[in-house]
């Protein structure tokens, strides 16, 4: 059942999943302040809902996941106002990025600028064959302001990120797959089902273990290898304080599927 936050972003729990859909198809799901504020509120709702184990973020319509920030809203911004807008976007993106649950971006079309940055905040990206990705901000005389210069470089490497950001070139889904920017490419009519299948598979795992794995990967990426390995040990040890670890090991020894209580 869909929950109402704003017309700009739809939220529909389908336990153990939740669907979050950018809903401005007439503007190719362009991202404005209302979208980011609503997205942040939805992330708060999901974080507090223990029934949600995985999240699928996508765009409404057939043309775009999100074609970028709303240029109409941005065209008259001062430097101060542009910074304030970027901070609003940053707050929502951090809530999405730090959500202790698996997040999957289902890229159904144009995934450009702020749309690409939003997709980069998700754990996994599945692209339609029709998807087009890139950071074309340079063509407007600006640079990415929602994490593009940072998250993209960490994912595809500094040299390739510089090429994409400096040229503003838009790439097709197969190239994005080859770069590791997306995890898989599927036919347009198979996108939602592929995202749902993967989300359900992940949702069947232990929620505490998944949250610890996500935290270990994220925090470890910011540390030197030695420190990251010690942080991993801390997260590994915390798993042994959960009921799920006992169920997982018992199920393995009894040669049956585990039934996790997510605690």
Catalytic residues: 117, 137
Exposure letters 12-48 (e unless 16+ CB within 10 A, then b): ebeebbbbbbbbbeebbbbbbbbbbbbbbbbbebbee
Outline where the chain has alpha helix (H). 33-48, 71-74, 79-97, 114-120, 148-156, 158-167, 173-179, 191-203, 207-220, 225-239, 243-253
> Can you tell me the distance from the alpha carbon of 226 to that of 220, in angstroms, rounded to the nearest whole number?
9
Tell me the helices (H) and strands (E) count for the chain, helix number first.
Answer: 11, 11
> Can you tell me the distance from the alpha carbon of 18 to that of 117, in angstroms, rounded to the nearest whole number?
21
Closest CA to 176 of 120, 232, 217: 120
Q: Please give the backbone phi and psi of residue 228, each rounded to the nearest 5 degrees, phi first.
A: -65, -40
């Amino acid at each position: 059942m869909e929950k109402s936050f704003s017309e700009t972003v739809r939220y529909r729990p389908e336990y153990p999943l939740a669907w979050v859909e950018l809903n401005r198809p007439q503007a190719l799901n362009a991202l404005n302040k209302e979208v980011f504020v609503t997205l942040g509120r939805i992330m708060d709702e999901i974080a507090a809902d223990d029934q949600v184990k995985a999240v699928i973020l996508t765009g409404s319509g057939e043309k775009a996941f999100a074609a970028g920030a709303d240029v109409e809203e941005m065209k008259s911004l001062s430097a101060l106002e542009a910074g304030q807008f970027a901070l609003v976007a940053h707050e929502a993106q951090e809530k999405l990025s730090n959500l202790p649950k698996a997040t999957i971006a289902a890229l159904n079309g144009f995934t450009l600028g702020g749309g690409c940055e939003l997709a980069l905040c998700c754990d996994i990206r599945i692209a339609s064959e029709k998807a087009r990705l890139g950071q074309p901000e340079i063509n407007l005389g600006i640079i990415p302001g929602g994490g593009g210069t940072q998250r993209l470089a960490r994912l595809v490497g500094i040299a390739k990120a510089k090429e994409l950001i400096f040229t503003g070139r838009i790439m097709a889904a197969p190239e994005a797959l080859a770069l590791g920017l997306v995890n898989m490419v599927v036919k347009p009519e198979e996108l939602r089902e592929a995202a749902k299948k993967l989300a359900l598979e992940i949702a069947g795992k232990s929620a505490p273990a998944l949250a610890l794995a996500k935290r270990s990967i994220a925090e470890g990426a910011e540390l030197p290898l030695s420190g990251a390995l010690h942080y991993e040990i801390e997260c590994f040890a915390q798993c042994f304080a959960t009921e799920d670890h006992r169920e997982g090991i018992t199920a393995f020894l009894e040669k049956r599927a585990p039934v996790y209580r997510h605690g």
